[in-house]
Amino acid sequence: YQTSFPQDFLWGCAIAAHQCEGAWNEGGKGVSTADIARLGGIGKVRQLDDKVDPDVRYPSHTGIDFYHRWPQDIEMLAHLGIKCLRLSIDWTRIYPTGMESKPNAEGLRYYHALIDTLLAHKIEPIITISHFEIPLVLAQSIGAWKNRAMIDYYLRYCKTLFNEFHGKVTRWLTFNEINHNENTTEAAMASAYRVSGIRYDQEYNIPQIAAQSSYYMMLATAEAVSLAHAIDPQNQVGCVLALHPSYAFDCQPETALKSLQCLENDLYIADTLCHGKFPDSKRRQLAKRGIQLDTKLEDDAKFQAGTLDFIAFNYYSSTVCMLDESQYPQGNHFKGGKNPRLPETEWGWQIDPTGLRYALNLMDRRYQLPILISENGIGMEEQLSGSELLDDAPRIAYLKAHLQALKQALTEDQVHCIGYCLWSCFDLISATTGEMRKRYGLIYVDQNDDGSGTLQRSYKKSAAWYAQVILENGEL
C-alpha cells in the first residue's frame, strides 16, 4: 500500500498550444477556431468572430511567443526538475484546414524539435491531441463535431501523430475537457464551442446537437485508442474531463438527488470511454427527451475495443447544486451556485482542496484506472515590480493545500494517481476570457492584454517552491 508519493510520480506542468505559441500564421499553420476568439475583457467570456478581422487583436495570435522562445522556456522548466510536460499539438500546424491528404512538414518539424528537447532534459511529453482548437475550415464547412465525417479527419490527424512520434511519446490525451461540450448554458456556451467547434449560439436544437457531437467525440476517442495501440502497444491513451464536484446546497433530499443526477450526467462520457459501452440508461433518457442519436451497429464494438488506459481530469473548483437555478450567479463559469463556506479567486472560482480529494476518490472507485491530474492551479492578478522576485504566496498556499489533499487521497484513501500537471508553468492566455491579466504561471511573462509587454520571463517564488516539492517527492 502507498505511504507517500510513488517514486515514479509524474510531477509536471501543463500548457496548451493556442494559449502560448502565438505565431498563428507562421510555419504553414492554418487558422483555428481559437484564432477568431476575441479578448473578452475583465472576467468576460470571449466573443467569436466568423473570420479574422484585421483590426482586432486576438490573444492567440501572439500568445506568449512560445513558438519562437521555446528553447529558453524549456531550459527554464528543466531547472525546476519537472518530470513531465503536458502540452498540446495544434491541429492546424499539422493539417492547416484539417482536410489535406498530407501533413504540413514544417509543423511536424517544430513539434519534433520541441519533443526531442524535452526528452533530452528527461521531461516526458504528454500530448493533448485536441485542446480547444479545431481547424476553422472544418468548423465552417462541415460543422465540426456536429458531423460524423469529423471522426475520419480527426483519426487521420491522430494517425500522423502516432506514427511520427512513435518511440518519443507514449502518453496521449484525445480531448481536453470533453464533457464541457454539454455545458451549453448561456454563460458556458463559449466553452462548449472551444471543445467541439460548434456555434451553439447559432443552433436551435442544442440538446440534440450537444448529445450527438459528444457521441462522435467519444467514438473518435475509442477509435484513437485502438489506433494508438495498433501502431505502438506501448501507447497509453487517456481523455481529459473537467471535474467540479457539485455539493448539495442544503440538506433537502431533493437537492441531493439533483446533485447526483448532475454528476451522473457529467460522467456518462467517461463511463462510456472507460467501460466501453454507451450506458443504456443514457440512451433511454435521450429517447425520452426526443433525442435520436445517429448510431451505427459497429459503434458498439468500437467502444468496447477502445477503452481508455488511464483517466485524466482538470480540477480548479467545486460548486454547489441548488433546486432553484435562478439563484445561480449570472455568468458563472461553473454551472451552479456559490458555496458560502469557501473563499474564491478574483474570478469567482471557489477554492476547495478537499474537492480535489473528492474527485480523486470518485474517479478511482468508479473507473479503477490510473489517474492523471491534468490541470490544477490558480489564476491571479500579479504585477512584477522591477527586478524583484515576484512573491506569489497565495499561489503557493493554493498549491500546497491541493497537494496535501492529493497526498491524503494517495495515502489515506489509496487512490491510484500517477501524476500532477500544474496549470501552469508560464503565465499564458486565459482560455475563458483571453486575458493575460489572469496569471497562472510559476514563471512570470511580461505580456499585457494589449500585447505591449516585453515577453521577458522571470521565475516567481512558487517556482522554487515547486522545484523543492519535486526534489522531495511531495514531502511538504
| Catalytic residue positions, numbered | 375
Which of 32, 130, 176, 339 is close enough to bind ligand BGP by CB under 6 A?
176
Tell me how far apart the alpha carbons of residues 169 and 149 are, in angstroms, rounded to a whole number: 27
Per the CB < 8 A criterion, the answer to whether 431 and 132 are in contact is yes
Which candidate, 84, 106, 126, places its Cα nearest to that of 30? 106
* 346 or 472: CB nearest ligand BGP: 346
- Which span sits near ligand BGP by CB under 6 A: 253-261, 298-306, 317-325, 431-439? 431-439
* 191 or 212: CB nearest ligand BGP: 191
E-state strands within 360-432:
371-375, 417-422
Which of 223, 375, 382, 449 is close enough to bind ligand BGP by CB under 6 A?
375
Indicate whether 431 belongs to the interface with ligand BGP (CB under 6 A): yes
Show contacts with ligand BGP in window 301-330 (CB under 6 A). Answer: 314
CB atoms within 10 A of CB 31: 21
- Cell numbers 499553420 label which residue? 29
Which of 35, 177, 223, 382 is close enough to bind ligand BGP by CB under 6 A?
177
Size of the site for ligand BGP (CB under 6 A): 15
Tell me how far apart the alpha carbons of residues 348 and 5 are, in angstroms, rounded to a whole number: 31
CB atoms within 10 A of CB 238: 28
Per the CB < 8 A criterion, the answer to whether 241 and 178 are in contact is yes
- Which span sits near ligand BGP by CB under 6 A: 165-173, 247-255, 256-264, 425-433? 425-433
Tell me how far apart the alpha carbons of residues 407 and 437 are, in angstroms, rounded to a whole number: 31
Tell me how far apart the alpha carbons of residues 137 and 134 are, in angstroms, rounded to a whole number: 8
- Which span sits near ligand BGP by CB under 6 A: 75-83, 146-154, 319-327, 428-436? 428-436
What is the nearest approach in angstroms of ligand BGP to the Cβ of residue 256?
27
C-alpha cell belonging to residue 241: 474531463
Following DSSP, what letter does each residue of 75-94 receive, concatenated?
HHHHHHT-SEEEEE--HHHH
Site string for ligand BGP, 4-43 (x = CB under 6 A): ------------x--x------------------------
Per the CB < 8 A criterion, the answer to whether 246 and 267 are in contact is no
What is the nearest approach in angstroms of ligand BGP to the Cβ of residue 25?
22
Per the CB < 8 A criterion, the answer to whether 130 and 72 are in contact is no
Indicate whether 438 belongs to the interface with ligand BGP (CB under 6 A): yes
C-alpha cell belonging to residue 129: 491531441
Tell me how far apart the alpha carbons of residues 181 and 163 are, in angstroms, rounded to a whole number: 29
Site string for ligand BGP, 112-151 (x = CB under 6 A): --------------------x-------------------
* 276 or 379: CB nearest ligand BGP: 379
Please give the angle made by the CA atoms of 145, 267 and 303, to the nearest 5 degrees: 60
What is the nearest approach in angstroms of ligand BGP to the Cβ of residue 221?
17
What is the nearest approach in angstroms of ligand BGP to the Cβ of residue 177?
5
CA distances from 318 to 242, 342, 350, 355, 413 (A): 11, 9, 7, 6, 20
* 272 or 432: CB nearest ligand BGP: 432
Indicate whether 255 belongs to the interface with ligand BGP (CB under 6 A): no
Which of 59, 98, 379, 419 is close enough to bind ligand BGP by CB under 6 A?
379
Pairing between β-strand 240-243 and β-strand 371-375 as defined by DSSP bridges:
unpaired
* 107 or 377: CB nearest ligand BGP: 377
* 333 or 407: CB nearest ligand BGP: 333
What is the nearest approach in angstroms of ligand BGP to the Cβ of residue 183?
11
- 173 — phi, psi (to 5°)? -125, 125
Tell me how far apart the alpha carbons of residues 171 and 195 are, in angstroms, rounded to a whole number: 20
- Which span sits near ligand BGP by CB under 6 A: 99-107, 151-159, 200-208, 427-435? 427-435
What is the nearest approach in angstroms of ligand BGP to the Cβ of residue 328?
19
The site for ligand BGP (CB under 6 A) is made up of 16, 19, 132, 176-177, 242, 314, 375, 379, 423, 430-433, 438
